[in-house]
Amino acid sequence: MSDSHVKFRHLQAFIEVARYKSVVKASASLNVSQPAVTKTIRELEQALGVALVEREGRGIRITRYGEVFLKHAGAAIAALRQGVDSVSHERVGEAPLLRVGALPTVSSHIMPHAMDLFLKEKTLSRIKIVTGENSVLLEQLRFGELDLVVGRLAGADRMAGFLFEHLYSERVVFAVRAGHPLLASGRSPFAELGGYTILMPTASSIIRPVVDQFLIANGISGLPNQIETVSDAFGRAFVSSSDAVWIISAGVVTRDVEAGQLHTLPIDTNDTRGPVGLTMRTDVVPSIAMSLLMQTIREAAACRTLL
């Protein structure tokens, strides 16, 4: 095999196919025809001499060789984008773009202070902050679309190729509006939760298994009235105007509780604590600007006030 046969379009097509586990969705993402994507993947497999994808039912799966190659393909794309950004921004006198993914709790509780500290350094760097679910942010980091993720530590199976730096631990809380009936009830909140609408983390969120396990450990195997959401704006508005109970990471509602707009139920949730920190690719060396940003995030996290 000659690596000269592997082109950027091959890497791009393979990464999109791996992301969506679908040639159809990959072709839509790349804005090219499905046969073109299939042909490109076949060319790549011929150049490498191994199968990268296999059919599985109506979809496809990535082979073991494909998983190994995906790590390097993502690194190559990320390095190329970083190089293009560096050259183009240098040419026009701009600093490279720093792309950061952050969980909603981090976006609302840590990043504002971190940005204040970072802007005082006057690096002139442009910053893009993306908020979303932990698993989605890690996928974007893996594919070179983000440079850093500030979120919870994922399972070992999802941390291959990543470095994690612990910043702090955060627990889950049960938030309700001021004057909620459960605040005045003499009974255990668990005995009455089934009678209220519960806002739950989505099934794919990293804290959902923690929440499910905690509920089961406290005798609750199911809640009949659930709404799954990752929107803190919706959660805050819905809970403030109803008797719903919002199960959410503490940092999301810290300021609401401090202002007296929301309250937390008297439930000991220390068992739900999980590590939050910085996640980067192992094959990327942070720039000076990124190193400064990471330091300001560390400082902001050290100054946080959690429930």
Contact (Cβ atoms closer than 8 angstroms) between residue 33 and residue 27: yes
Per residue in 249-295, pLDDT (tens digit) is 988 898 899 999 999 999 999 999 999 999 999 888 888 889 899 99
* pLDDT (average), residues 112-140: 89
Q: Has residue 133 got a pLDDT over 90? A: no
Instruction: Round the CA-based radius of gyration of the chain to a whole number and report it.
Output: 22
Domain spans of the chain, in order of start: 3-71, 95-167+275-302, 172-272
Contact (Cβ atoms closer than 8 angstroms) between residue 41 and residue 65: no
User: CA 62 to CA 34: how far, in whole Å?
Assistant: 18
User: CA 261 to CA 263: how far, in whole Å?
Assistant: 7
More confident call, 90 vs 106: 106
Lowest-pLDDT choice from 22-26, 94-98, 212-216, 246-250:
94-98
For 172-272, CATH number out of 3.40.1280.10, 3.40.190.10, 3.40.50.10490, 3.40.630.10 equals: 3.40.190.10
Q: What sign does the dihedral 9-130-209-195 (CA atoms) show?
A: negative
pLDDT at 94: 59
Domain 3-71 has CATH 1.10.10.10: yes
Fold of 95-167+275-302: D-Maltodextrin-Binding Protein; domain 2 (3.40.190)
Q: Has residue 57 got a pLDDT over 80? A: no
Q: Evaluate whether 95-167+275-302 and 172-272 have a shared fold.
A: yes
pLDDT bracket for residue 98 (50, 70, 90) = very high
pLDDT bracket for residue 187 (50, 70, 90) = confident
Q: Has residue 227 got a pLDDT over 70? A: yes
Tokens at residue 241, please? 């105007």
**pTM value > 0.85:** no
Mean of pLDDT over the chain: 86
Q: Residues 62-71: contacts with CB within 8 Å, 24+ apart?
A: 62/18, 62/21, 66/14, 66/18, 69/14, 70/14, 70/15, 70/18, 70/142, 71/160, 71/161
Q: Has residue 87 got a pLDDT over 60? A: no
* pLDDT (average), residues 61-81: 80
Lowest-pLDDT choice from 58-62, 64-68, 87-91, 161-165:
87-91
DSSP 105: H
* pLDDT (average), residues 85-112: 75
